[in-house]
Protein backbone atom coordinates (compact mmCIF):
# COMPACT_ATOMS: atom_id res chain seq x y z
CA UNK A 1 0.00 0.00 0.00
CA UNK A 2 2.55 2.54 1.17
CA UNK A 3 4.89 1.45 -1.58
CA UNK A 4 2.22 2.05 -4.21
CA UNK A 5 1.55 5.53 -2.84
CA UNK A 6 5.25 6.25 -2.67
CA UNK A 7 5.65 5.31 -6.31
CA UNK A 8 2.91 7.69 -7.33
CA UNK A 9 4.50 10.55 -5.40
CA UNK A 10 7.90 9.75 -6.81
CA UNK A 11 6.48 10.00 -10.32
CA UNK A 12 4.79 13.29 -9.51
CA UNK A 13 7.95 14.77 -8.01
CA UNK A 14 10.01 13.75 -11.00
CA UNK A 15 7.53 15.41 -13.33
CA UNK A 16 7.26 18.54 -11.23
CA UNK A 17 10.89 19.08 -10.23
CA UNK A 18 13.12 16.38 -11.70
CA UNK A 19 14.61 13.19 -10.30
CA UNK A 20 17.49 14.90 -8.47
CA UNK A 21 15.34 16.19 -5.65
CA UNK A 22 13.84 12.84 -4.60
CA UNK A 23 14.78 12.36 -0.93
CA UNK A 24 15.93 8.95 0.29
CA UNK A 25 13.39 8.64 3.09
CA UNK A 26 9.83 7.46 2.29
CA UNK A 27 7.55 10.13 0.91
CA UNK A 28 4.33 8.77 2.33
CA UNK A 29 3.57 7.73 5.90
CA UNK A 30 0.44 6.62 7.72
CA UNK A 31 -1.58 9.63 8.88
CA UNK A 32 -0.71 10.74 12.38
CA UNK A 33 -4.39 11.22 13.14
CA UNK A 34 -7.42 9.73 11.35
CA UNK A 35 -8.86 13.26 11.13
CA UNK A 36 -6.21 13.98 8.51
CA UNK A 37 -7.15 11.01 6.37
CA UNK A 38 -5.32 7.74 6.00
CA UNK A 39 -1.87 8.69 4.74
CA UNK A 40 0.13 11.84 4.44
CA UNK A 41 3.04 13.23 2.48
CA UNK A 42 5.13 15.92 4.15
CA UNK A 43 7.80 16.26 1.50
CA UNK A 44 6.84 19.82 0.52
CA UNK A 45 8.18 21.08 3.82
CA UNK A 46 11.56 19.47 3.42
CA UNK A 47 11.84 20.73 -0.17
CA UNK A 48 11.43 24.44 0.63
CA UNK A 49 15.15 24.99 1.01
CA UNK A 50 16.16 23.15 -2.15
CA UNK A 51 13.46 24.70 -4.29
CA UNK A 52 13.32 28.13 -2.67
CA UNK A 53 9.54 28.19 -2.70
CA UNK A 54 6.97 28.07 0.03
CA UNK A 55 5.69 24.61 0.96
CA UNK A 56 2.06 25.19 0.00
CA UNK A 57 3.11 26.22 -3.48
CA UNK A 58 5.26 23.13 -3.73
CA UNK A 59 2.40 20.95 -2.52
CA UNK A 60 0.17 22.44 -5.21
CA UNK A 61 2.67 21.63 -7.95
CA UNK A 62 3.03 18.07 -6.67
CA UNK A 63 -0.72 17.55 -6.62
CA UNK A 64 -1.00 18.89 -10.13
CA UNK A 65 1.26 16.08 -11.36
CA UNK A 66 -0.07 13.43 -9.03
CA UNK A 67 -2.02 10.59 -10.64
CA UNK A 68 -3.82 8.98 -7.82
CA UNK A 69 -7.56 9.22 -8.48
CA UNK A 70 -7.84 5.44 -8.74
CA UNK A 71 -6.59 5.07 -5.15
CA UNK A 72 -7.55 8.19 -3.25
CA UNK A 73 -10.15 10.90 -2.97
CA UNK A 74 -8.85 14.29 -4.16
CA UNK A 75 -5.76 15.04 -1.99
CA UNK A 76 -6.01 17.91 0.43
CA UNK A 77 -3.35 20.39 1.41
CA UNK A 78 -3.39 21.16 5.10
CA UNK A 79 -1.50 23.44 7.46
CA UNK A 80 1.80 24.72 6.11
CA UNK A 81 1.79 22.24 3.20
CA UNK A 82 1.02 18.68 4.26
CA UNK A 83 -0.69 16.60 1.63
CA UNK A 84 -3.40 14.42 3.15
CA UNK A 85 -4.72 11.34 1.45
CA UNK A 86 -7.90 9.43 2.02
CA UNK A 87 -8.44 6.08 0.37
CA UNK A 88 -11.40 5.65 -1.92
CA UNK A 89 -14.01 3.21 -0.64
CA UNK A 90 -14.03 1.43 -4.03
CA UNK A 91 -10.33 1.01 -3.95
CA UNK A 92 -10.47 -0.42 -0.44
CA UNK A 93 -13.18 -2.87 -1.48
CA UNK A 94 -11.19 -4.07 -4.49
CA UNK A 95 -8.06 -4.53 -2.45
CA UNK A 96 -9.95 -6.42 0.22
CA UNK A 97 -11.39 -8.76 -2.36
CA UNK A 98 -7.89 -9.46 -3.62
CA UNK A 99 -6.86 -10.28 -0.09
CA UNK A 100 -9.92 -12.45 0.27
CA UNK A 101 -8.94 -14.45 -2.83
CA UNK A 102 -5.40 -14.84 -1.56
CA UNK A 103 -6.39 -17.45 1.04
CA UNK A 104 -2.90 -18.41 2.05
CA UNK A 105 -1.00 -15.13 2.15
CA UNK A 106 -3.78 -12.60 2.72
CA UNK A 107 -2.04 -10.09 0.51
CA UNK A 108 1.29 -10.30 2.29
CA UNK A 109 3.88 -10.04 -0.43
CA UNK A 110 6.92 -12.23 -0.71
CA UNK A 111 10.19 -10.48 0.07
CA UNK A 112 12.22 -9.16 -2.83
CA UNK A 113 14.88 -10.48 -2.89
CA UNK A 114 14.38 -13.58 -0.79
CA UNK A 115 17.42 -14.07 1.39
CA UNK A 116 19.22 -16.76 3.29
CA UNK A 117 18.89 -15.75 6.92
CA UNK A 118 20.17 -17.33 10.11
CA UNK A 119 18.29 -16.74 13.32
CA UNK A 120 20.47 -17.67 16.29
CA UNK A 121 18.15 -17.99 19.26
CA UNK A 122 17.26 -19.89 22.43
CA UNK A 123 20.83 -21.20 22.95
CA UNK A 124 20.80 -22.44 26.54
CA UNK A 125 23.84 -23.91 28.24
CA UNK A 126 24.33 -27.61 28.80
CA UNK A 127 24.30 -28.78 32.39
CA UNK A 128 22.67 -25.54 33.41
CA UNK A 129 18.98 -25.07 33.63
CA UNK A 130 17.31 -23.18 30.81
CA UNK A 131 16.25 -19.91 32.43
CA UNK A 132 13.71 -17.18 31.73
CA UNK A 133 16.23 -15.27 29.59
CA UNK A 134 16.41 -18.29 27.31
CA UNK A 135 12.63 -18.40 27.32
CA UNK A 136 12.49 -14.83 25.97
CA UNK A 137 15.09 -15.62 23.37
CA UNK A 138 13.18 -18.73 22.35
CA UNK A 139 9.83 -16.99 22.01
CA UNK A 140 11.11 -13.86 20.27
CA UNK A 141 13.51 -15.77 18.02
CA UNK A 142 10.81 -18.19 16.93
CA UNK A 143 8.44 -15.33 16.12
CA UNK A 144 11.07 -13.53 14.04
CA UNK A 145 11.89 -16.74 12.21
CA UNK A 146 8.20 -17.37 11.47
CA UNK A 147 7.75 -13.92 9.99
CA UNK A 148 10.86 -14.21 7.83
CA UNK A 149 9.81 -17.66 6.66
CA UNK A 150 6.37 -16.42 5.80
CA UNK A 151 7.92 -13.67 3.71
CA UNK A 152 9.66 -16.36 1.71
CA UNK A 153 13.16 -16.11 3.12
CA UNK A 154 15.20 -19.23 3.59
CA UNK A 155 15.66 -19.33 7.32
CA UNK A 156 18.10 -21.46 9.26
CA UNK A 157 17.11 -21.59 12.92
CA UNK A 158 20.20 -22.26 14.97
CA UNK A 159 20.55 -23.24 18.59
CA UNK A 160 24.01 -22.06 19.64
CA UNK A 161 24.00 -24.09 22.85
CA UNK A 162 26.81 -23.67 25.34
CA UNK A 163 28.11 -27.22 25.14
CA UNK A 164 31.84 -26.66 25.46
CA UNK A 165 34.30 -25.12 27.83
CA UNK A 166 35.57 -25.28 31.36
CA UNK A 167 32.26 -26.25 32.93
CA UNK A 168 32.70 -29.77 31.56
CA UNK A 169 36.08 -30.23 33.19
CA UNK A 170 34.58 -29.36 36.55
CA UNK A 171 31.55 -31.46 36.02
CA UNK A 172 33.38 -34.56 34.82
CA UNK A 173 35.94 -34.30 37.61
CA UNK A 174 33.18 -33.95 40.16
CA UNK A 175 31.02 -36.76 38.81
CA UNK A 176 34.00 -39.09 38.66
CA UNK A 177 34.11 -38.75 42.44
CA UNK A 178 30.50 -38.40 43.35
CA UNK A 179 28.59 -40.37 40.78
CA UNK A 180 30.82 -42.16 38.27
CA UNK A 181 27.86 -44.05 36.78
CA UNK A 182 26.64 -40.85 35.19
CA UNK A 183 29.74 -40.75 33.01
CA UNK A 184 29.31 -44.16 31.46
CA UNK A 185 25.63 -44.97 31.62
CA UNK A 186 22.82 -43.44 29.66
CA UNK A 187 19.92 -41.88 31.54
CA UNK A 188 21.69 -42.07 34.87
CA UNK A 189 20.83 -38.43 35.61
CA UNK A 190 17.98 -36.06 35.24
CA UNK A 191 18.77 -32.51 34.23
CA UNK A 192 17.64 -31.42 37.69
CA UNK A 193 20.36 -33.60 39.21
CA UNK A 194 22.84 -32.45 36.62
CA UNK A 195 22.23 -28.86 37.60
CA UNK A 196 22.71 -29.70 41.27
CA UNK A 197 25.92 -31.55 40.48
CA UNK A 198 27.06 -28.61 38.43
CA UNK A 199 26.51 -26.24 41.33
CA UNK A 200 28.40 -28.54 43.68
CA UNK A 201 31.21 -28.93 41.17
CA UNK A 202 31.47 -25.17 40.84
CA UNK A 203 31.65 -24.80 44.60
CA UNK A 204 34.44 -27.35 44.81
CA UNK A 205 36.23 -25.67 41.95
CA UNK A 206 36.16 -22.30 43.66
CA UNK A 207 37.29 -23.62 47.04
CA UNK A 208 39.61 -26.53 46.39
CA UNK A 209 42.77 -25.83 44.47
CA UNK A 210 43.70 -29.47 43.95
CA UNK A 211 40.25 -30.13 42.52
CA UNK A 212 40.65 -27.12 40.26
CA UNK A 213 43.77 -28.64 38.82
CA UNK A 214 42.06 -31.98 38.17
CA UNK A 215 39.20 -30.16 36.50
CA UNK A 216 41.57 -28.29 34.22
CA UNK A 217 43.22 -31.55 33.24
CA UNK A 218 39.81 -32.95 32.41
CA UNK A 219 39.25 -30.05 30.02
CA UNK A 220 42.55 -30.76 28.33
CA UNK A 221 41.68 -34.46 28.05
CA UNK A 222 38.33 -33.63 26.55
CA UNK A 223 39.75 -31.13 24.10
CA UNK A 224 42.51 -33.47 23.01
CA UNK A 225 39.88 -35.99 22.05
CA UNK A 226 40.27 -38.53 24.85
CA UNK A 227 37.74 -41.24 24.13
CA UNK A 228 36.42 -41.70 27.64
CA UNK A 229 36.06 -37.97 28.30
CA UNK A 230 34.33 -37.52 25.01
CA UNK A 231 31.84 -40.24 25.86
CA UNK A 232 31.15 -38.66 29.25
CA UNK A 233 30.66 -35.28 27.60
CA UNK A 234 28.24 -36.76 25.08
CA UNK A 235 26.18 -38.38 27.81
CA UNK A 236 25.93 -35.12 29.70
CA UNK A 237 24.88 -33.23 26.58
CA UNK A 238 22.34 -35.89 25.73
CA UNK A 239 20.85 -35.54 29.18
CA UNK A 240 20.39 -31.79 28.87
CA UNK A 241 19.21 -31.99 25.30
CA UNK A 242 16.36 -34.25 26.26
CA UNK A 243 15.17 -31.83 28.91
CA UNK A 244 15.43 -28.87 26.55
CA UNK A 245 13.39 -30.79 24.01
CA UNK A 246 10.53 -31.12 26.48
CA UNK A 247 10.36 -27.33 26.61
CA UNK A 248 10.61 -26.94 22.84
CA UNK A 249 7.79 -29.45 22.38
CA UNK A 250 5.62 -27.62 24.88
CA UNK A 251 6.29 -24.35 23.08
CA UNK A 252 6.03 -25.85 19.59
CA UNK A 253 9.49 -24.66 18.59
CA UNK A 254 11.63 -26.10 15.82
CA UNK A 255 15.32 -25.39 15.99
CA UNK A 256 18.51 -27.05 14.81
CA UNK A 257 21.20 -27.61 17.39
CA UNK A 258 24.63 -26.45 16.43
CA UNK A 259 26.40 -25.78 19.67
CA UNK A 260 29.69 -24.13 20.49
CA UNK A 261 31.53 -27.47 20.26
CA UNK A 262 30.75 -27.57 16.55
CA UNK A 263 33.17 -24.70 15.94
CA UNK A 264 35.94 -26.19 18.05
CA UNK A 265 37.93 -27.48 15.06
CA UNK A 266 38.01 -23.97 13.56
CA UNK A 267 39.17 -21.98 16.56
CA UNK A 268 42.91 -22.34 15.96
CA UNK A 269 42.43 -21.16 12.37
CA UNK A 270 40.58 -18.10 13.59
CA UNK A 271 43.42 -17.07 15.85
CA UNK A 272 45.92 -17.74 13.06
CA UNK A 273 43.86 -15.65 10.64
CA UNK A 274 43.74 -12.75 13.09
CA UNK A 275 47.48 -13.03 13.43
CA UNK A 276 47.98 -13.07 9.67
CA UNK A 277 45.95 -9.89 9.44
CA UNK A 278 48.27 -8.28 11.97
CA UNK A 279 45.44 -7.84 14.44
CA UNK A 280 46.82 -10.03 17.21
CA UNK A 281 48.71 -8.81 20.29
CA UNK A 282 50.04 -11.09 23.00
CA UNK A 283 49.53 -9.68 26.45
CA UNK A 284 50.71 -11.63 29.49
CA UNK A 285 50.45 -14.86 27.51
CA UNK A 286 46.90 -14.14 26.34
CA UNK A 287 46.23 -13.47 22.69
CA UNK A 288 43.99 -10.53 22.09
CA UNK A 289 42.78 -8.00 19.56
CA UNK A 290 42.49 -4.35 20.51
CA UNK A 291 39.07 -2.94 19.78
CA UNK A 292 38.38 0.47 18.38
CA UNK A 293 35.76 2.53 20.14
CA UNK A 294 35.83 0.46 23.32
CA UNK A 295 37.95 1.81 26.13
CA UNK A 296 38.54 1.04 29.78
CA UNK A 297 38.13 3.53 32.62
CA UNK A 298 41.52 5.07 31.88
CA UNK A 299 40.51 5.66 28.30
CA UNK A 300 42.86 3.02 26.92
CA UNK A 301 41.68 0.73 24.11
CA UNK A 302 40.06 -2.46 25.36
CA UNK A 303 41.43 -5.86 24.31
CA UNK A 304 39.23 -8.77 23.32
CA UNK A 305 40.92 -11.98 24.43
CA UNK A 306 40.62 -14.70 21.81
CA UNK A 307 42.96 -17.23 23.40
CA UNK A 308 43.77 -17.42 27.06
CA UNK A 309 47.29 -17.98 28.36
CA UNK A 310 46.44 -21.63 29.11
CA UNK A 311 45.55 -22.12 25.45
CA UNK A 312 41.79 -22.19 25.98
CA UNK A 313 39.45 -20.20 23.77
CA UNK A 314 36.63 -17.85 24.70
CA UNK A 315 32.95 -17.35 23.98
CA UNK A 316 33.92 -14.58 21.53
CA UNK A 317 36.38 -16.79 19.64
CA UNK A 318 33.60 -19.28 19.01
CA UNK A 319 31.33 -16.51 17.78
CA UNK A 320 34.02 -15.35 15.36
CA UNK A 321 34.35 -18.88 14.02
CA UNK A 322 30.57 -19.09 13.79
CA UNK A 323 30.36 -15.90 11.72
CA UNK A 324 32.99 -17.19 9.33
CA UNK A 325 31.30 -20.56 9.01
CA UNK A 326 27.84 -19.11 8.59
CA UNK A 327 28.82 -16.72 5.85
CA UNK A 328 31.17 -19.08 4.01
CA UNK A 329 29.52 -22.45 4.43
CA UNK A 330 25.87 -21.60 5.06
CA UNK A 331 25.90 -18.69 2.63
CA UNK A 332 24.04 -16.51 5.11
CA UNK A 333 23.17 -13.02 3.89
CA UNK A 334 21.86 -11.95 7.24
CA UNK A 335 22.51 -13.26 10.74
CA UNK A 336 20.19 -12.34 13.57
CA UNK A 337 21.17 -12.97 17.20
CA UNK A 338 18.48 -12.94 19.84
CA UNK A 339 19.91 -12.54 23.34
CA UNK A 340 19.51 -10.35 26.38
CA UNK A 341 20.64 -6.75 26.21
CA UNK A 342 23.58 -7.59 28.49
CA UNK A 343 25.36 -9.18 25.52
CA UNK A 344 25.20 -6.07 23.35
CA UNK A 345 28.86 -5.25 23.90
CA UNK A 346 29.89 -8.80 23.21
CA UNK A 347 28.20 -8.73 19.81
CA UNK A 348 29.36 -5.23 18.92
CA UNK A 349 32.92 -6.37 19.62
CA UNK A 350 32.64 -9.65 17.77
CA UNK A 351 31.06 -7.94 14.75
CA UNK A 352 33.82 -5.35 14.66
CA UNK A 353 36.64 -7.90 14.79
CA UNK A 354 34.91 -10.17 12.27
CA UNK A 355 34.68 -7.24 9.90
CA UNK A 356 38.27 -6.12 10.37
CA UNK A 357 39.51 -9.69 9.97
CA UNK A 358 37.56 -10.13 6.75
CA UNK A 359 35.32 -12.89 8.13
CA UNK A 360 32.31 -10.75 7.43
CA UNK A 361 31.81 -9.64 3.84
CA UNK A 362 30.34 -6.12 3.67
CA UNK A 363 27.12 -7.33 2.05
CA UNK A 364 26.31 -9.65 4.94
CA UNK A 365 24.27 -8.04 7.68
CA UNK A 366 24.70 -9.06 11.29
CA UNK A 367 22.05 -7.88 13.71
CA UNK A 368 21.88 -8.24 17.44
CA UNK A 369 18.26 -8.26 18.60
CA UNK A 370 18.48 -7.49 22.31
CA UNK A 371 15.77 -7.87 24.92
CA UNK A 372 15.29 -6.75 28.50
CA UNK A 373 14.93 -8.69 31.73
CA UNK A 374 12.00 -10.68 32.95
CA UNK A 375 11.10 -9.28 36.36
CA UNK A 376 9.13 -10.86 39.16
CA UNK A 377 5.99 -9.14 40.40
CA UNK A 378 8.11 -7.54 43.11
CA UNK A 379 9.89 -5.68 40.31
CA UNK A 380 13.16 -7.46 41.00
CA UNK A 381 15.05 -9.47 38.48
CA UNK A 382 13.90 -13.08 38.35
CA UNK A 383 17.04 -14.75 39.56
CA UNK A 384 18.96 -16.68 36.97
CA UNK A 385 22.34 -18.29 37.27
CA UNK A 386 22.78 -18.38 41.00
CA UNK A 387 20.22 -18.06 43.77
CA UNK A 388 16.72 -19.42 43.41
CA UNK A 389 16.00 -20.05 39.81
CA UNK A 390 12.50 -20.58 38.59
CA UNK A 391 12.63 -23.69 36.49
CA UNK A 392 11.20 -23.08 33.07
CA UNK A 393 9.26 -26.31 33.12
CA UNK A 394 7.60 -25.29 36.37
CA UNK A 395 6.83 -21.86 35.02
CA UNK A 396 5.06 -23.24 31.95
CA UNK A 397 3.27 -25.95 33.91
CA UNK A 398 2.03 -23.32 36.33
CA UNK A 399 0.64 -21.21 33.48
CA UNK A 400 -1.19 -24.24 32.10
CA UNK A 401 -2.51 -25.21 35.53
CA UNK A 402 -3.86 -21.71 36.12
CA UNK A 403 -5.44 -21.58 32.67
CA UNK A 404 -7.10 -24.87 33.49
CA UNK A 405 -8.45 -23.55 36.77
CA UNK A 406 -9.87 -20.46 35.04
CA UNK A 407 -11.47 -22.63 32.40
CA UNK A 408 -13.09 -24.98 34.91
CA UNK A 409 -14.51 -22.01 36.82
CA UNK A 410 -15.90 -20.49 33.64
CA UNK A 411 -17.41 -23.80 32.50
CA UNK A 412 -19.22 -24.20 35.77
CA UNK A 413 -20.49 -20.61 35.61
CA UNK A 414 -21.81 -21.28 32.15
CA UNK A 415 -23.18 -24.64 33.30
CA UNK A 416 -21.28 -26.44 30.60
CA UNK A 417 -19.83 -29.91 30.73
CA UNK A 418 -16.86 -30.67 28.55
CA UNK A 419 -14.69 -33.73 28.14
CA UNK A 420 -11.38 -34.05 29.91
CA UNK A 421 -9.64 -34.06 26.53
CA UNK A 422 -11.20 -30.69 25.66
CA UNK A 423 -10.21 -29.15 28.98
CA UNK A 424 -6.66 -30.41 28.70
CA UNK A 425 -6.20 -29.12 25.18
CA UNK A 426 -7.72 -25.71 25.81
CA UNK A 427 -5.79 -25.21 29.07
CA UNK A 428 -2.55 -26.10 27.34
CA UNK A 429 -3.13 -23.75 24.41
CA UNK A 430 -4.24 -20.86 26.61
CA UNK A 431 -1.47 -21.32 29.16
CA UNK A 432 1.33 -21.48 26.60
CA UNK A 433 -0.15 -18.74 24.42
CA UNK A 434 -0.49 -16.48 27.44
CA UNK A 435 3.19 -16.84 28.28
CA UNK A 436 4.26 -16.25 24.69
CA UNK A 437 1.95 -13.34 24.11
CA UNK A 438 2.88 -11.60 27.36
CA UNK A 439 6.43 -11.59 26.13
CA UNK A 440 5.77 -10.67 22.51
CA UNK A 441 3.34 -7.86 23.30
CA UNK A 442 6.04 -5.90 25.13
CA UNK A 443 8.60 -3.82 23.34
CA UNK A 444 11.38 -6.36 23.65
CA UNK A 445 13.98 -3.80 24.67
CA UNK A 446 12.23 -3.04 27.95
CA UNK A 447 12.08 -5.24 31.02
CA UNK A 448 8.74 -6.86 31.61
CA UNK A 449 6.99 -8.06 34.70
CA UNK A 450 5.96 -11.67 34.63
CA UNK A 451 2.44 -11.90 36.04
CA UNK A 452 0.22 -14.95 35.60
CA UNK A 453 -2.86 -12.93 36.51
CA UNK A 454 -2.22 -10.31 33.87
CA UNK A 455 -1.27 -12.66 31.08
CA UNK A 456 -4.26 -14.92 31.68
CA UNK A 457 -6.80 -12.11 32.00
CA UNK A 458 -9.70 -12.19 29.56
CA UNK A 459 -9.64 -8.45 29.16
CA UNK A 460 -6.82 -6.31 27.87
CA UNK A 461 -4.07 -6.99 25.39
CA UNK A 462 -3.66 -10.68 26.23
CA UNK A 463 -3.66 -14.03 24.47
CA UNK A 464 -6.95 -15.17 26.02
CA UNK A 465 -8.61 -11.96 24.84
CA UNK A 466 -7.50 -12.56 21.26
CA UNK A 467 -8.28 -16.26 21.31
CA UNK A 468 -11.79 -15.44 22.48
CA UNK A 469 -12.11 -12.72 19.88
CA UNK A 470 -11.28 -15.27 17.21
CA UNK A 471 -13.84 -17.77 18.48
CA UNK A 472 -16.45 -15.02 18.64
CA UNK A 473 -15.88 -13.88 15.07
CA UNK A 474 -16.04 -17.48 13.92
CA UNK A 475 -19.32 -17.88 15.80
CA UNK A 476 -20.81 -14.89 13.99
CA UNK A 477 -19.71 -16.24 10.63
CA UNK A 478 -21.22 -19.61 11.46
CA UNK A 479 -24.53 -17.99 12.34
CA UNK A 480 -24.42 -16.08 9.06
CA UNK A 481 -24.57 -19.47 7.46
CA UNK A 482 -23.42 -18.48 4.00
CA UNK A 483 -21.70 -20.65 1.52
CA UNK A 484 -18.60 -18.66 0.64
CA UNK A 485 -18.07 -20.85 -2.39
CA UNK A 486 -21.49 -20.09 -3.75
CA UNK A 487 -21.10 -16.31 -3.57
CA UNK A 488 -17.69 -16.51 -5.22
CA UNK A 489 -18.96 -14.91 -8.44
CA UNK A 490 -20.86 -12.23 -6.71
CA UNK A 491 -18.34 -10.89 -4.22
CA UNK A 492 -18.86 -7.34 -3.13
CA UNK A 493 -17.74 -5.34 -0.18
CA UNK A 494 -19.79 -2.29 0.75
CA UNK A 495 -18.20 0.23 3.03
CA UNK A 496 -20.80 2.72 4.11
CA UNK A 497 -20.27 3.29 7.78
CA UNK A 498 -17.17 4.61 9.49
CA UNK A 499 -16.78 1.49 11.59
CA UNK A 500 -16.79 -0.66 8.47
CA UNK A 501 -14.24 1.54 6.78
CA UNK A 502 -12.02 1.67 9.78
CA UNK A 503 -11.98 -2.13 10.06
CA UNK A 504 -11.45 -2.52 6.33
CA UNK A 505 -8.50 -0.13 6.27
CA UNK A 506 -6.94 -1.88 9.19
CA UNK A 507 -7.11 -5.23 7.40
CA UNK A 508 -5.56 -3.56 4.38
CA UNK A 509 -2.56 -2.46 6.43
CA UNK A 510 -1.52 -6.01 7.33
CA UNK A 511 0.92 -6.29 4.45
CA UNK A 512 2.69 -3.01 5.30
CA UNK A 513 2.74 -3.91 8.96
CA UNK A 514 4.39 -7.29 8.44
CA UNK A 515 7.06 -5.69 6.30
CA UNK A 516 7.73 -3.10 8.99
CA UNK A 517 8.01 -5.82 11.61
CA UNK A 518 10.51 -7.57 9.38
CA UNK A 519 12.65 -4.45 9.28
CA UNK A 520 12.32 -3.38 12.90
CA UNK A 521 12.23 -6.91 14.30
CA UNK A 522 9.67 -5.80 16.85
CA UNK A 523 7.01 -8.48 17.40
CA UNK A 524 5.03 -6.16 19.68
CA UNK A 525 4.04 -4.16 16.60
CA UNK A 526 2.25 -7.26 15.34
CA UNK A 527 0.51 -8.01 18.63
CA UNK A 528 -0.60 -4.38 18.89
CA UNK A 529 -1.98 -4.62 15.36
CA UNK A 530 -3.97 -7.76 16.21
CA UNK A 531 -5.29 -6.23 19.41
CA UNK A 532 -6.48 -3.17 17.47
CA UNK A 533 -7.97 -5.43 14.84
CA UNK A 534 -10.18 -7.16 17.37
CA UNK A 535 -11.16 -3.82 18.89
CA UNK A 536 -12.09 -2.47 15.49
CA UNK A 537 -14.07 -5.58 14.82
CA UNK A 538 -15.97 -5.06 18.07
CA UNK A 539 -16.86 -1.48 17.10
CA UNK A 540 -17.96 -2.67 13.71
CA UNK A 541 -20.06 -5.43 15.24
CA UNK A 542 -21.60 -2.97 17.70
CA UNK A 543 -22.53 -0.47 15.04
CA UNK A 544 -23.32 -2.56 11.99
CA UNK A 545 -25.95 -5.24 12.20
CA UNK A 546 -24.67 -8.26 10.30
CA UNK A 547 -27.19 -11.04 10.47
CA UNK A 548 -30.21 -8.75 10.22
CA UNK A 549 -28.85 -6.65 7.37
CA UNK A 550 -30.20 -6.80 3.82
CA UNK A 551 -28.77 -9.58 1.70
CA UNK A 552 -25.96 -7.69 -0.05
CA UNK A 553 -24.90 -5.94 3.16
CA UNK A 554 -25.11 -9.16 5.10
CA UNK A 555 -22.77 -10.88 2.65
CA UNK A 556 -20.41 -7.93 2.59
CA UNK A 557 -20.24 -7.80 6.36
CA UNK A 558 -19.74 -11.53 6.66
CA UNK A 559 -16.81 -11.24 4.27
CA UNK A 560 -15.36 -8.56 6.52
CA UNK A 561 -15.83 -10.88 9.48
CA UNK A 562 -14.21 -13.70 7.55
CA UNK A 563 -11.24 -11.48 6.68
CA UNK A 564 -10.93 -10.47 10.32
CA UNK A 565 -10.88 -14.11 11.40
CA UNK A 566 -8.28 -15.06 8.82
CA UNK A 567 -6.08 -12.11 9.68
CA UNK A 568 -6.28 -12.92 13.38
CA UNK A 569 -5.44 -16.54 12.75
CA UNK A 570 -2.50 -15.80 10.49
CA UNK A 571 -1.20 -13.01 12.70
CA UNK A 572 -1.36 -15.17 15.80
CA UNK A 573 0.33 -18.04 14.00
CA UNK A 574 3.20 -15.69 13.14
CA UNK A 575 3.51 -15.03 16.86
CA UNK A 576 3.69 -18.78 17.39
CA UNK A 577 0.16 -19.01 18.75
CA UNK A 578 -2.44 -21.40 17.41
CA UNK A 579 -6.12 -20.55 17.57
CA UNK A 580 -8.90 -22.73 18.92
CA UNK A 581 -12.27 -23.13 17.30
CA UNK A 582 -14.09 -23.48 20.56
CA UNK A 583 -13.32 -22.30 24.06
User: Residues in the site for ligand ARG, rule: CB under 6 A?
Assistant: 120, 123-125, 160, 162, 319, 322, 337, 339
Q: Give the residue nearest to ligand ARG (CB).
A: 123
Bridge partners (DSSP) of residue 366 are 335
Nearest residue (CB) to ligand ARG, 133 versus 464? 133
List Cβ neighbours of 460 (8 Å cut-off, separation of 6 or more): 454
Q: Which of 84, 125 has the CB closer to ligand ARG?
A: 125
Nearer to ligand ARG, 13 or 323 (CB): 323
Phi-psi sector, 555: left (phi>0), alpha (psi -120 to 50), beta: alpha
Specify the residue, 364 or 507, whose C-beta has the smaller distance to ligand ARG: 364
- The DSSP result for 492-508, as a single string, is -----SHHHHHHHHHHH
DSSP string, 23-58: -SS-SEEE-SSGGG-SEEE-HHHHHHHHHTS-HHHH
Distance of CA 251 to the CA centre of its chain: 14
CB of 163 to ligand ARG, least distance (A): 9
* Coil, helix or strand at residue 547: coil
Identity of the residue, 23 or 331, whose beta carbon is nearer to ligand ARG in the bound complex = 331
Are 338 and 133 within 8 A, CB to CB?
A: no
Name the DSSP class of 488.
G
Give min distance, CB of 197 to ligand ARG, in A: 19
Q: Which is nearer to ligand ARG, 112 or 254 (CB)?
A: 254
Half-sphere exposure of 322 (CA within 13 A, CB side): 26
CB of 125 to ligand ARG, least distance (A): 5
Instruction: Report how far residue 438's alpha carbon sits from residue 517's, in angstroms, rounded to the nearest whole number.
Output: 18
CB of 514 to ligand ARG, least distance (A): 26
Measured from the CB atom, the residue of 125 and 564 that comes closer to ligand ARG is 125
State the minimum distance, in angstroms, from the CB of residue 245 to ligand ARG. Answer: 17
What is the closest distance, in whole angstroms, from the C-beta atom of residue 352 to ligand ARG in the complex?
15
Cα(156)–Cα(332) distance, integer angstroms:
9
**Which is closer to ligand ARG, CB of 123 or CB of 261?**
123
User: How far apart are CB 525 and ligand ARG at their closest, in Å?
Assistant: 24
Name 61's Cβ contacts closer than 8 Å, sequence gap at least 6: 16, 17
389 vs 538 by CB, closer to ligand ARG = 389
Q: How far is the CB of 140 from ligand ARG (least distance, A)?
A: 13
Question: What are the residues facing 72 on neighbouring strands?
Answer: 87
> 308 and 322 in contact (C-beta within 8 Å)?
no
CB distance 173 to 218 below 8 Å: yes
CB of 305 to ligand ARG, least distance (A): 16
Amino acid sequence: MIRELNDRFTQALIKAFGAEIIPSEPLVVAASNPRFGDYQCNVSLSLTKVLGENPRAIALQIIEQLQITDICLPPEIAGPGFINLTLQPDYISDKLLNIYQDQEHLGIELAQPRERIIVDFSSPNIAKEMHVGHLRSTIIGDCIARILEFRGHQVLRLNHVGDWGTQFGMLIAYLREAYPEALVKKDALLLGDLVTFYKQAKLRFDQDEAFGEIARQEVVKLQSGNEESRRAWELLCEQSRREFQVIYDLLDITIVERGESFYNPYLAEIVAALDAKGLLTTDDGAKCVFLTGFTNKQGDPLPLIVQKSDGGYNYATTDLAAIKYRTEKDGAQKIIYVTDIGQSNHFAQVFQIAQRAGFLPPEVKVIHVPFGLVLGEDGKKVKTRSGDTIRLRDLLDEAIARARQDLITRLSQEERTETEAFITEVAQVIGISAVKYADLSQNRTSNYVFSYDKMLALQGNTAPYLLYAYVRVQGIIRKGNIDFQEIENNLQILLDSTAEQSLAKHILQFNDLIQEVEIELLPNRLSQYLFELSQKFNQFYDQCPILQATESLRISRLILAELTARTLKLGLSLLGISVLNRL
